[in-house]
Structure formats: C-alpha cells, structure tokens
Chains A and B, each alone.
Chain A
C-alpha cells in the first residue's frame, strides 16, 4: 500500500535527516517506527504526508508511493484526498474550536459526503467521550482526550492509511494503553497504520512489522514480534529485564558502547 524507496530528506542545504530509507506497509498492516530523539521518525511522517515544506525540509532523493502512485511531489491536501492522513506530533487540536467543530474540520479533506457520514459514525463509536464533550472547547480537554480528538479528527476524512506521530507522548500509562487499544481497533476496521513511537513496548504490541531508525537510517527492520524478542531492541528501547541493579548498569553501559554498531545490522 505504502512503499518508500531510497528516501533522502534534507532540511536546508546541509542537514540530512533521512538517508536510504526503504520500507513497506501492507494494505492492512501496522508499521511501528522506533528510534530515539532526532532519529528522523517525525521527518519520515512529514515526508509521507507532504508537510516537509512547512518545516523547511525537502525530499532530496528517492520516492514514496501510495497504491503505486507517487505522492512525494503532491501537496498535502491532495495526499489527504488520496487517503493518507497524519496526526501530527503534540496533538495540535484546534484549541479555540469546539470538539464538534474540530471533527467537522477533519472532514474538510474527505473525498465525498458519503465518506464523511461513514467516518462520522465510526468516530462516534470509537470515541464515545468525544460525543459527550461535543460542545466543549478542544483546548479544555485532558491530554488523553485531546489525543483521541486528534485521531478522531484524522479519521473524519476516511483515510486508508493513518500516520500517528507519538500518540503516547506525555500521557499517563493507563491512557497509553487505551490509545494502543484504539489503534488496534482502527487497524482491525481495515485502516493501515504507521505508528511512530518512542514507547517501544506499546508500539511493538500493536504493530505487525517494525523498523528502528538510527540517525536517519534504518538500523533494524522485521516482524514486530521478532524485534520485540531481539536482545538489542530490548536493551535499547524496552528497558531490558535485568535480574539485578549491577546487571542493569552493565547492560546499559554495554548498550551505550554498542549503540553505533547497530547500523551494521540493517536488513
């Protein structure tokens, strides 16, 4: 459904944020994109959703295809109409508008009124709390509710591929679990998902495939279950399962030393 080949993204002339990125998302797949700060996760989503230019970036090489059509030269509105919609980092709800209006704004990019009506029912079913809060200002919602609103708003355009940028950021653990279940449900209803996360535990539970980005390159790629079981991912992103404090420290030191070598693992 989505395929990225040899993608290179630059900010300005000198900063290369992504290099030689190859990845695929199947028609009903969930791809987790893991990696530390500055690894290029958000940049990848910006490239797919066509919003790089807002951040001063550009696709320097490679291509992004959605349903075998190139989308890396399209403007963001056209990409949304093709069925790819992003939930930007930090939620970014329209704070001064009501919940209802936020959802309606999400429908602005929908292909047709029928799509909007179907999406409307789906969002009401997924997020009953949003119906309760319909007339409240979005800025007054809690963090978790804002995240639900941001996801619900994105679903209003009836996407086939949903791009989520760190939906668990700054949320209480219980809410992280809820968001994970919701992502699972969205996927079960037939929408493919790209899930960018620092919370690797949550992401690998929901995803069927995963890639790990390291300084702009794909360091690891494979089925989510395999990655979750791999020692290095556990050490680096899942916090390990140390028997004692000394062991934990030793493993952390080992992980720090071997951080760079991960890039050799590619493929």
Chain B
C-alpha cells in the first residue's frame, strides 16, 4: 500500500514538471490565435475559419471512429442537416415567401440545429448499433446520398440547388456578426464581420475540444473504448453495448451539426450539392474528415485538431500562395495538390506511425520530460 502512495506522489510530480511547458505552450497558442485577426487579412481569416470548422467536425468524428470504433462516412450528411436546420430555424420565408423559416434568435437556432443533428444521429442508431467496421461505413454512406436527394427535393427548406438560401446573420444578445459602422477595434484594427466570425469559431472550436476531452476522460468514454476493444468483454462488464454505440453516434452527429452551422456562416450560403462527389456535403468531404482523423491518430482529440489543420488548412494555404505570391506547380490546382499530400500522409501514417500525429507529438513531449 505504501508503495502505491509513493508512486502516486511521484506521478503528480512528473505531471507538474511536464505541465509547465505545456501550460506555457497553450498560453502562447491562445495568444497567437487571439491576435491573429490583427495581423492577418480577410483572406487569411477565411482560411483560418475553415480550419476551425474542420477542427469541430474532426473532433466529433474521432470520438466516433477512434474512441468508439465505428467507421462513419456520414459526416457530410450531418453538416448539411446542421446548416439547413440553422437556416430554417433562424431564417425568414425569403423574398418570394417560398421558404420555411421560423425566425428564432440565432443562438437558439444554433442550439436547435445541433440538437436536431443529435436526434437524427440517434435515429440512425438501430443501424449503427448493429453494424460495425466497413459495413457501417457503407451503410452510413447511404446517408450522404439521402442528404443529396433531400437537399435537392426539399427546396422550401434547403433553398434548392440553383440559388440556395442565405443563412441569417448570427447575433449574440444584440451583437451582430456582420460589418458595422462604427466597428470596435483591437490594436487599431477594426473588428468587422470576418474578425467577429473568427472569434466566434475560435470559441466554438475550444468548447468542442473541451467537451470532447471531457467525454473521453469520463465513464462514457471508457465505455466507448471498452466496446471498441472487445464487445463481448464490455458486455460482461455490464456495459450496454447498443447504448454506448448509439451515444457515440449521437454525440458525433451533434459535433458535425455544429460544424455544419459554421460552414453555413462561413460560406454565407446554404446550398445543397448538385452531385454527390464534389461539393460542400459530398463524399469527398467524408473522405477528407476521415483523413483528418487518421492522420491525427485515431481517437486523439489533439490529433484530430492537427489533422484538421493539415487537411483543411493546406488547400487554403496553397490557394492563398497561388493568388498572393503566384505559387504554382504545373497545372495542378491547390485542392488537387493537397489531396495528394494528405493521401501520402495517410499512407505514411498507416505504414510508420499508426498512432498518427498524436503519437509523434506524445513521443516528442515525453522525451523532453525525461531530460
């Protein structure tokens, strides 16, 4: 018994020693993210916002795929449901009056959209609870096709493929996330629409990160991992396997829904895709979210963030490089180049470091702690 006390105390000491640099690191990172709008132009801000959308979605997907062990390609479907729900809940009936809009306060609409996505995810649980692995992957893919069909046919909700519908401007207790005159300033830089959205997205991403981390460390997360590692043993331990799986799918769908609302605000448009392969809510998006989660390291929350930075950030950076500095590699588009890069990254991760970026990061930090 006394030995255990000693080891516990020393582990606290180790934690204290390693936590100083990491606390400092987090503080510096937060500071950089907070002043980012001061020194970055609108194009960079848009790129940053897009990365933050990826962070929220990828964190949600890594809970499902990495922690609970359920392969899902349905993420774009929930992005679409989130985006459309926000537009319907907060929107009006449009100029010609042929749209459904409830005109709720935007904050309420965001919460509602997330709740709707969670419910839709829960409704899918009879399927997600029974299937696993590649079978669930294929079954969940059918939701992307369902989303495509519903988006195209339910014009009064989605706005239709030709024009779409504008998402209502977000506002928080009267503070509108739009351009204004006069605008508040930070260090002499006017905080207009894009700066405000950056801060909004940053807060949402941090909240998503902390919620996911809380879930992973709680009994809920432990049950997910038990089910992932061995369903029979988890059942024997008194874990309700079907409920744990439904929970994971529901939570993951809610994260995707939030990312969907953010996508609508980022594009300033809710518009269903015209085909299933390219577009905002297409199979390509499903694959890029899986790529984020894989590259980051399955189940790791910081890994999902890193994966989102790489997968969503790279095409944006390359596009910016092309427009601002004239970067170009032959006739390859930035999107194509980054697809190659993260395709290669997946192969490298699977071959050399199945734990992904998270495992590489962990190795670097523990080596520092040893010294």
Q: Which A residues form the contact surface with B (CB < 8 A)?
A: 49, 51, 54, 75-77, 79-81, 85-88, 92-97, 101, 104-106, 108-110, 124, 131, 153-154, 157
Sorted nearest first, the 3 A-B pairs with minimum C-beta distance are: A109-B238, A80-B238, A94-B229
B1, B236, B240 — most chain A CB neighbours (10 Å): B236
Is the pair B223, A105 in contact by a Cβ cutoff of 8 Å? yes
Is the pair B4, A131 in contact by a Cβ cutoff of 8 Å? yes
Q: Which B residues form the contact surface with A (CB < 8 A)?
A: 1, 3-4, 7, 219, 222-223, 225-226, 229-240
Is the pair B232, A154 in contact by a Cβ cutoff of 8 Å? no
> If the complex has contacts A101-B222, A124-B1, A124-B4, are A157 and B235 also in contact, measured as CB distance less than 8 A?
no
Is the pair A49, B236 in contact by a Cβ cutoff of 8 Å? yes
List the B side residues contacting A79 at CB < 8 Å.
238
List the A side residues contacting B231 at CB < 8 Å.
54
List the B side residues contacting A95 at CB < 8 Å.
229-230
Question: How far, in angstroms, from A49 to B233 measured CA to CA in the complex?
Answer: 12
**B62 to A: closest C-beta gap in Å:** 15
**B152 to A: closest C-beta gap in Å:** 41
Is the pair B240, A92 in contact by a Cβ cutoff of 8 Å? no
List the A side residues contacting B234 at CB < 8 Å.
94, 105
**A166 to B: closest C-beta gap in Å:** 14
Is the pair B225, A94 in contact by a Cβ cutoff of 8 Å? yes
> If the complex has contacts A88-B232, A96-B229, A124-B4, are A77 and B238 also in contact, measured as CB distance less than 8 A?
yes
Question: How far, in angstroms, from A92 to B3 measured CA to CA in the complex?
Answer: 29
Query: Closest residue to B3 on the A side, CB-wise?
Result: A131
Is the pair B238, A97 in contact by a Cβ cutoff of 8 Å? no
Is the pair A88, B236 in contact by a Cβ cutoff of 8 Å? yes
Question: How far, in angstroms, from A188 to B154 measured CA to CA in the complex?
Answer: 68
Select which of B1, B222, B230 is within 8 A of A108 by beta carbon: B222
What are 12 residue pairs bridging A and B, where the CB atoms are less than 8 Å apart in the complex?
A75-B240, A76-B236, A77-B239, A77-B240, A79-B238, A85-B238, A93-B230, A94-B234, A101-B222, A108-B219, A108-B226, A153-B237
**B5 to A: closest C-beta gap in Å:** 11
Is the pair A94, B239 in contact by a Cβ cutoff of 8 Å? no
Is the pair A105, B226 in contact by a Cβ cutoff of 8 Å? yes
A101-B225, A108-B222 are known; give 14 further A-B pairs, CB within 8 A: A51-B235, A54-B231, A76-B236, A77-B239, A80-B237, A86-B236, A93-B233, A94-B225, A96-B225, A96-B229, A105-B225, A105-B237, A108-B226, A109-B237
Query: Closest residue to A121 on the B side, CB-wise?
Result: B1
List the B side residues contacting A76 at CB < 8 Å.
235-236, 238
Query: Closest residue to A49 on the B side, CB-wise?
Result: B236
List the A side residues contacting B232 at CB < 8 Å.
51, 54, 88, 92
**B15 to A: closest C-beta gap in Å:** 13
Question: How far, in angstroms, from A101 to B232 measured CA to CA in the complex?
Answer: 17
Question: How far, in angstroms, from A131 to B239 measured CA to CA in the complex?
Answer: 24
List the A side residues contacting B238 at CB < 8 Å.
76-77, 79-81, 85, 108-110, 157
Is the pair A104, B222 in contact by a Cβ cutoff of 8 Å? yes
List the A side residues contacting B233 at CB < 8 Å.
88, 92-94
List the B side residues contacting A131 at CB < 8 Å.
3-4, 7
**A248 to B: closest C-beta gap in Å:** 40
B7, B232, B233, B237 — most chain A CB neighbours (10 Å): B237
> If the complex has contacts A54-B231, A101-B225, are A106 and B4 also in contact, measured as CB distance less than 8 A?
no
Question: How far, in angstroms, from A39 to B37 measured CA to CA in the complex?
Answer: 72
List the A side residues contacting B237 at CB < 8 Å.
80, 85, 105-106, 108-109, 153-154, 157
Question: How far, in angstroms, from A97 to B229 measured CA to CA in the complex?
Answer: 8
List the B side residues contacting A49 at CB < 8 Å.
236
**A157 to B: closest C-beta gap in Å:** 6
**B366 to A: closest C-beta gap in Å:** 12
Query: Closest residue to B299 on the A side, CB-wise?
Result: A96
Question: How far, in angstroms, from A109 to B235 measured CA to CA in the complex?
Answer: 9
